[in-house]
């Protein structure tokens, strides 16, 4: 359940209350003067990180994923087929071999 911060309109004191998300502001009692005239304040949000969280973890994970994908793409064959390298010796010329001597 979230912790809400309130200000009492009657006595002017600030207090915190752990309430359900569905709790109405009008039903909140001030613990100091027991009046039902509290106003919910906008307070800062805090989070608690559990485990071994390091700053920049999301960026490091994104770069690792990018590097893994680039490694996989490097192993794929090219999109367009490559031409075979030309032979080192030229093929025999058909015009010279087709002539006959009389």
Non-local CB neighbours of 4 within 8 Å, separated by 6+ positions: 16, 17, 18, 19, 28, 40, 43
3-state secondary structure 62-84: HHHHHHHHHHHHHHCCCCCCCCC
Tens-digit pLDDT string for the chain (102 aa): 788 888 998 888 988 888 888 888 888 889 889 888 888 888 777 666 666 656 677 778 888 888 898 888 777 766 666 666 666 776 666 665 555 555
Give SS3 for 26: helix
User: Is pTM, for the whole model, over 0.75?
Assistant: no
Q: Which DSSP letter does residue 8 get?
A: E
Q: So where are the chain's domains?
A: 3-41
Beta bridge partners of residue 38, listed in sequence order = 8
Nearest to 40 by CA among 21, 54, 57: 21
Maximum Cα–Cα distance across the chain? 131
């Amino acid at each position: 359940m979230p912790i809400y911060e309130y200000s009492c309109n009657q006595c002017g004191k600030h207090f915190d209350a752990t309430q359900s998300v569905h709790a109405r502001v009008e039903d909140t009692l001030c613990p100091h003067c027991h009046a039902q005239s509290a106003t919910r304040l906008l307070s800062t949000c805090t989070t608690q990180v559990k485990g071994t969280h390091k700053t920049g973890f999301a960026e490091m994970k994104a770069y690792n994923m990018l590097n893994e994908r680039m490694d996989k793409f490097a192993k794929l064959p090219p999109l367009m087929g490559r031409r075979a390298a030309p032979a080192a010796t030229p093929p025999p010329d058909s015009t010279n071999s087709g002539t006959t001597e009389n």
